[in-house]
Amino acid sequence: MNMDLLEVIETEQVPGAKFEVVQYKHLKGSDDLYVAEKVFFAKQAEVHLKMIRITLEKSEILIEPGALYFMKGYFQLESNSQGLSKGLMRKFTTGETLFQSRIKGTGEIYLEPTFGHYSLFNIDDDALIVDKGAFYCASAGLDVSAKMQGNVSSALFGGEGLFQTQVKGSGVVVLASPVPTDELLMYELASGEKLSVDGSFAFARTSGVEFRAEKSGKSLLQSATSGEGLLQTFTGPGVVWIAPTEEVYKRLAMLGSRLT
């Protein structure tokens, strides 16, 4: 493999494991004219094909089944449900798969390439609550489970459903992000400080942040006439990551589907 074709755009590591988002600098194209046209426009728009590369040194990782692309080294691959009851809970409440794959050993691991985006988070004895289906892989020492919303308003009107995915412990987790990492905005909230979002583009939050749906006005009538309706409200202490450009990309994608 010609490593000169790849460049590293983000890195996080813990003892025994280094996680990198690598991307192809450019694609050479295809003998299929349709594919070649798409590759040309992707290059013009600076859209890159990306992979997660993990370097292990006598350590282990947890990945979603089907994510493995190839690996080189001395590895043991096994699947487990992390406990049947916990696995079933995750499967039916967050959309994550029932079984997960664990890779142990030393060497390099590459996960499936995509034109999508990844974000790396280094968690230090804390918990991160993320969008359903966002979990991709994690280092040893992290536990992935379903987290029930803390109140009725957030479950019924918050736009996130009754359960989200919780990643708890210490280590690095890789999440599939709806936008490039540098388009995510991070807000550190003091105790009692609020962040209100009109839409479902909050991506992740630390466990100390309270989430609920609140009226934008003092009454339901005011909320209706203001055009804002219910807001996703996050109250500190803790950190919240939001993806403001996500809704714009969704609207552009819907417009494109109507034109084709």
Strand 163-177 to strand 202-206: parallel, antiparallel, or no bridges (unpaired)?
Answer: unpaired
d(CA 133, CA 161): 12
Task: Note the pLDDT of residue 173.
Answer: 97
pLDDT beyond 60 at 88: no
Task: Report residue 221 CA to chain centroid gap.
Answer: 36
In this structure, how many other beta carbons lie within 10 angstroms of the beta carbon of residue 96? 20
100 confidence band (pLDDT: 50, 70, 90): confident
Whole-model pTM: value is: 0.82
pLDDT tens digit sequence for 123-146? 999 999 998 889 999 999 899 888
For residue 90, the number of C-alpha atoms closer than 13 Å in the C-beta half-sphere is 24
The number of helices, as runs of H, and strands, as runs of E, in the chain is 5, 15
